[in-house]
Copies of this chain bind each other. A is one copy, B any other.
Amino acid sequence: MEVNGVEVEETFAEAFPIKVSRILITAATKYWAKVAAQEATGFGTSVIMCPAEAGIERFANWNETPDGRPGYYIQICNFSYKDLEDQVLKRLGQCVLTAPTTAVFNGLLEAKKQFDTGYKLKFFGDGMESETQILDRKMYSIPIMEGDFLIEESIGAVEGVAGGNFFIFGDSQMSALNAAQSAVEAINKVEGTITPFPGGIVASGSKPGANKYTFLKATANEKYCPSIKDKVEGSMIPKDVNAVYEIVINGLDTDVVSEAIETGVKAAVTLPGIKKISAGNYGGNLGPHQFYLKEILK
């Protein structure tokens, strides 16, 4: 199969269930909403060694936020609701309450699972806080040094998807990297998804476990490492390929992750020097979600 003249391997991405909270952060201007969203989702690439997976989902326009201000939806993900709730509280308390001009709204109003994060954070007001309302949302208003911080009482969470992915093979590192960047920028427009790695991109895709250092949970995926393609038996790196990047996608459900894979691949193959698209899986044994490139891109 080819897309825009680029070979797409007949394989699938294997993904996992994860618990996801979705939060809308608004601010006086786009810049300040972005600053808070970035700080709150940092150190959040993979739960292997980060306390959460997190990312900015998309920009929210003036006319679609409860307070008429610009905002960003972010997602924070973890394996258990307990760990997720803890991370939502800490990240909103330390990185958004402290950020200039922000307000916080529930991004999953209809989820069954609701954390009382706003209720907990109101205690920062030390008795000077009050209840208020924006549209029909129950908010707390907490006096702070810049004025008043507003946060909705509850933050919703659902079971979503982690680890949706695809691989971009390039003739040069810069071909693959620019294609990866364009893919991530395109995925930024897909509602409900995030790309939690730095700039949305994984430069060092891993395999579970190890061949040699068996004390490690994950190590380099040597069959996809171009610099050692001549030394590794079964290397998956074609002759004319000198770099591979992986795009990892988390999302609220499988539909949006599918759409993100489709959007990202189609953006990536518009760049010159892209030789192949593939995806990562563990033979289908580990993750219950399988995203077949052929079906998604047909």
Contact = CB atoms under 8 A, between A and B. Distances in A.
Given A147-B272, A225-B144, A43 B51 contact: yes
Interface residues on A, range: 35 or more
Contacts of A226: 145-147
A155 interface: no
A242 B211 contact: no
Q: Which 3 A-B pairs have the closest CB atoms?
A: A42-B42, A127-B212, A99-B198
B126 A199 contact: no
Contact of A245 (B146, B201, B227): B146
Contacts of A32: 177, 199
A87 to B, nearest CB: 9
Contact of A145 (B61, B179, B243, B266): B243
Interface in A221-266: 221-222, 224-228, 231-232, 242-246, 263, 266
Interface string A92-130: 011111111110000000000000000000011111100
Interface stretch (A8-16, A66-74, A77-85, A287-295): A66-74
A171 interface: yes
A91 interface: yes
Given A49-B89, A49-B93, A123-B216, 11 more contacts: A39-B45, A42-B43, A69-B182, A69-B270, A98-B203, A100-B203, A123-B213, A145-B203, A146-B173, A172-B175, A173-B272
A220 interface: yes
Contacts of A98: 45-46, 197-198, 202-204
A35 interface: yes
A30 B210 CA distance: 33
Contacts of A228: 128, 143
B178 A219 contact: no
Contacts of A123: 210, 213, 216, 219
Given A100-B198, A126-B210, A127-B211, A220 B146 contact: no
A148 interface: yes
